[in-house]
Amino acid sequence: MNYKDKTREQLLKEIELLKEHVVILEKENEQFKIITENTSDNIAITTFDLKAKYLFVSPSVKQVLDYEPEDLLGKSFFDFIHPEDKKVLLPLIKKYVSLKARKLLTGKESTISETIEFRFRNKAGKWRDMHSTVNITGKYLLAVTRDITKRKLMEETLRQSEEQYRLFFNLLPYGGEVIDTSGKIVKCSPSTAQILGFEMCELIGKHITKFMTPDSVEIFKQKFPVLLSGKSAVAEIRMIRKDGTELNILRAAQPIMDDNGKVNTILALNVDITEQKLAEEQLRSQTKFIDNLIESSALSTWISDENGTAIRANPACLKFFGATEEEVIGKYNIFKDEVLIKQGYIPDLKKVFENGEIANVIIDYNFAEVEHVHVENATHKIINSTFTPIMNDDGKVTNVICQTLDITEIKSAEKEIIKAKETAERYLDMAGSMFVSLDTNGNILLINQKGLEILEYDDIEELLGKNWFDTCIPPNINKEEKKVFNKVMNCDMKGVEHYNNEVITKSGKRKIVSWYNSYIKDESGVIKYLLSSGVDITEQKASEDELRKYREHLEELVKERTVELETKTKRLEDFNKLFVGREFRIKELRTKVKELEEKLGI
């Protein structure tokens, strides 16, 4: 109906309706203006074509992208989009245009709403991540866009964090799993599966108590409500491997909250401490053994702290020093010991505590002279004490062990031995023979006063340590005498037990010494020393030589007289023979005369 055909009342009524509509539109426009000017979202209207030129841009674009609305009006949306995002958004705008053409052909209204994300270049030329909800509003496209750069950064950070968490979780050197609020495993690390000997798929979905010993299940029931209340928990439990063996596990669990602060899942970390527990048990056993060893040892042993104060003493120690625990433990301090201070041992003992060195000292120790403690039955002994430091992993001394021997009798015996040695040395010096002791290399270990006199030395230090053969044997017989020495050192005394040889004195004179050789062996039967006693027979040898010469002269005289006597004897024998022959002849003649006289009768 044309307005000319309407009555005045009808026209007035329409005018009133139009005014009311204008008021409503103005109100809506005012509301839209308030929204567009105060919202942080960017509201834009573009043409509904492939150019998508800006027709309206809300003032919030200044806050988001630093553009004034006028900077964008009339320009294409695609002029500000990242090239890679254009490849995604162009097919989308084509889709909108295709729907618009379908509406024109069919006359049917098409409703479309699309959510897109893209990168938009701000006025400074930097890319910002944007999120838009796009709707068709008649001939235009309405886009409500929000800057999600921070959210994208947070998402990337979260993604990296989750990736790191995943890698960390999977690379855990010890077991780790995530369980839900019912106790079922929803995720586990490969190390968990390895520790328990299962495949990961065999663990996921199973209740965690399925892999615990009965006593550990009870511990779980006590700790799980604590975790569900939002608190962490730590416990030692025993878990069962697939092969049935049991493991000692140190388990630490931490609840993971959702956005509402409610426990969503629980992260549990498991450390296999089976070997540690075994080591602890071995350590306890060793500690007990050491304790028993110290307590039952007959060797006096006491232990100090790092400051030198006695903290422990075994029964042998208390008996050794005549003390009780009440008298010395926690009271006696080595650095306050007047006996040690007086005898000058404190510097050596400080090295034990400060440098970790071992010290061994011999002390004339009268415990009654230690004034900072009172010991009723204190003993007085000569002791040999060894102080051994105990250090921690940082090399700091934490304790010192002192072990003590009573060497009173030994010292007394040593004095007797020294006395006997001095007496023996006096006897040797008084002896008329020289005594020499050589080591296996022929070096002089001992020589008495008579030996010094024979060799014309004034001081024993001139010879001690010198080689006997290089110093006291003439060069021309040096090698031969060394052969004799080696023969003796090889336990062959045949022909050399009593032996004469020349020696050379300090002044170069040669003397002849008659030796009696013997050797001294150690406990294993090895010869350690040669001991020889000798007599200077130089003058005797000279007398013998003179006597020999005189004897030889007598022998020559005897030979001469013998020859002369033999000659005279031969002459005498010849004369005797002649005389005897005559006697026999005379006798024969007399006999014949007698016979003739008888015949003649005269």
User: Of 406, 439, 474, which residue sits at a domain end?
Assistant: 406
- 302 and 272 part of one domain: no
Residue 289 placed within a domain: no
Surface-to-core class of residue 266, CB atoms within 10 Å of its CB (0-12 exposed, 13-18 middle, 19+ buried): buried
- 272 and 304 part of one domain: no
The pLDDT-based confidence of 337 (bands split at 50, 70, 90) is very high
Average pLDDT over residues 541-563: 74
- 398 and 347 part of one domain: yes
- 176 and 144 part of one domain: no
- 36 and 139 part of one domain: yes
Residue 580 placed within a domain: no
Average pLDDT over residues 473-488: 84
- Which candidate, 326, 365, 334, 377, places its Cα nearest to that of 352? 334
Residue 162 placed within a domain: no
- 131 and 26 part of one domain: yes
- Structural domains in the chain (count): 4
CA-to-CA separations, 142 to 54, 57, 113, in angstroms, rounded: 10, 10, 10
Average pLDDT over residues 485-513: 82
Token readout for 295 is 């307590």
Domain around 205: 172-277
Average pLDDT over residues 322-347: 93
Residues in Cβ contact with 170 at an 8 Å cutoff, skipping those fewer than 6 apart: 189, 190
Token readout for 226 is 């604590």
- Which candidate, 492, 537, 536, places its Cα nearest to that of 518? 492
- Helices (H) and strands (E) counted in the chain, each on its own, are 18, 20
Residue 239 placed within a domain: yes
Residue 265 placed within a domain: yes
Q: Are 127 and 119 in contact (CB under 8 A)?
A: yes
- 29 and 140 part of one domain: yes
Residue 566 placed within a domain: no
List, for residues 396-444, the tens digit of each pLDDT value.
999 999 999 988 877 777 776 666 566 556 555 555 678 888 888 889 9
User: Of 406, 435, 469, which residue sits at a domain end?
Assistant: 406
Q: Which pLDDT does position 229 carry in this prediction?
A: 92
CATH of the domain at 352: 3.30.450.20
User: Of 149, 183, 211, which residue sits at a domain end?
Assistant: 149
Residue 583 placed within a domain: no
- 80 and 48 part of one domain: yes
Residue 592 placed within a domain: no
The pLDDT-based confidence of 147 (bands split at 50, 70, 90) is confident
List, for residues 67-101, the tens digit of each pLDDT value.
998 999 999 988 999 999 888 888 877 776 776 65
